[in-house]
Amino acid sequence: MKPVILASASPRRRELLENIGLKFSVDPVETDEGLDRDVEPRKLAKLISREKAVAAAARHRDAVIIAADTFGVMRGKLLGKPVNRAEAREMLKLLSGKSHTVITGFTIMDSGSGRTCSRAVTTRVSFRKLSEAEIDTYVRSGEPMGKAAGYAIQGLGSLLVEGIEGDYFNVMGLPVGALAAELKKFGIEVLR
């Protein structure tokens, strides 16, 4: 079987793949994750994940590459990782008491054959109404930094969420059920 490479530095993606028993190595790649491109959000998520897969494939000539990108969308505004605490605070104020969509695009690429599959999975997340003090406390925790849309649903951010519709793991950064179904088409079966 070909080696599997996770082209991501995300500890959450690593943990999710470890939890399903997938054997893989990690080799993060640096690409432009800019969300300012004039592309529909689902297509953008797939495009960014594909760019990451292509970059990783250049370093791994005969492997199966997994790459992903996650961001939030609220009223047409794309919410990536906040660059500072002020931006995190603004994101959380925007999300307070409302619903938004989390999109993860993932790409699986066989670098030997060039065979590629890209998908985008969406999950609807509803936030409860947050007080200024709650937002400030959460931002001070440091957890919003480096997280799509400025929160981690698996951490303290779980206290902000009222409900979700869709794949919980997608909000963490990798829809493992959809990923496993596509990996099977590449000859990699997680459940044997």
pLDDT at residue 37 greater than cutoff 80 = no
Six-digit token string for 48:
């960014």
Is there a contact between 154 and 12 (Cβ–Cβ < 8 Å)? yes
Distance between CA atoms of residues 8 and 165, nearest Å? 26
pLDDT at 31: 73
pLDDT at residue 78 greater than cutoff 80 = yes
pLDDT at residue 192 greater than cutoff 80 = no
What band does 95 get if pLDDT is binned at 50, 70 and 90? very high
Six-digit token string for 176:
């493992």
pLDDT at 32: 66
Segment 52-68, tens digit of pLDDT: 999 999 999 999 999 99
pLDDT at residue 185 greater than cutoff 70 = yes
> Of residues 69, 110, 136, 167, which has the active-site annotation?
69
Q: What is the pTM of this model?
A: 0.93
12-34 b/e (C-beta count within 10 Å ≥ 16 → b): bbbebbeeeebebeebebebeee
Query: Among this protein's residues, is 69 annotated catalytic?
Result: yes
In DSSP notation, 96-157 reads TTSEEEEEEEEEEEETTT--EEEEEEEEEEEEPP--HHHHHHHHHTTTTTTSGGG--TTTGG
What band does 23 get if pLDDT is binned at 50, 70 and 90? very high
Q: What is the 3-state secondary structure (H, E, C) of 23-74?
A: CCEECCCCCCCCCCCCCCHHHHHHHHHHHHHHHHHCCCCCCEEEEEEEEEEE
Percent with pLDDT over 90 in the chain: 89
pLDDT at 76: 87
Q: What is the mean pLDDT of the chain?
A: 94
Beta-carbon-side half-sphere exposure of residue 134 (alpha carbons within 13 Å): 17
Domains of the chain and CATH, by start: 4-185 (3.90.950.10)
Q: Is 154 exposed, middle or buried (0-12, 13-18, 19+ CB in 10 A)?
A: middle
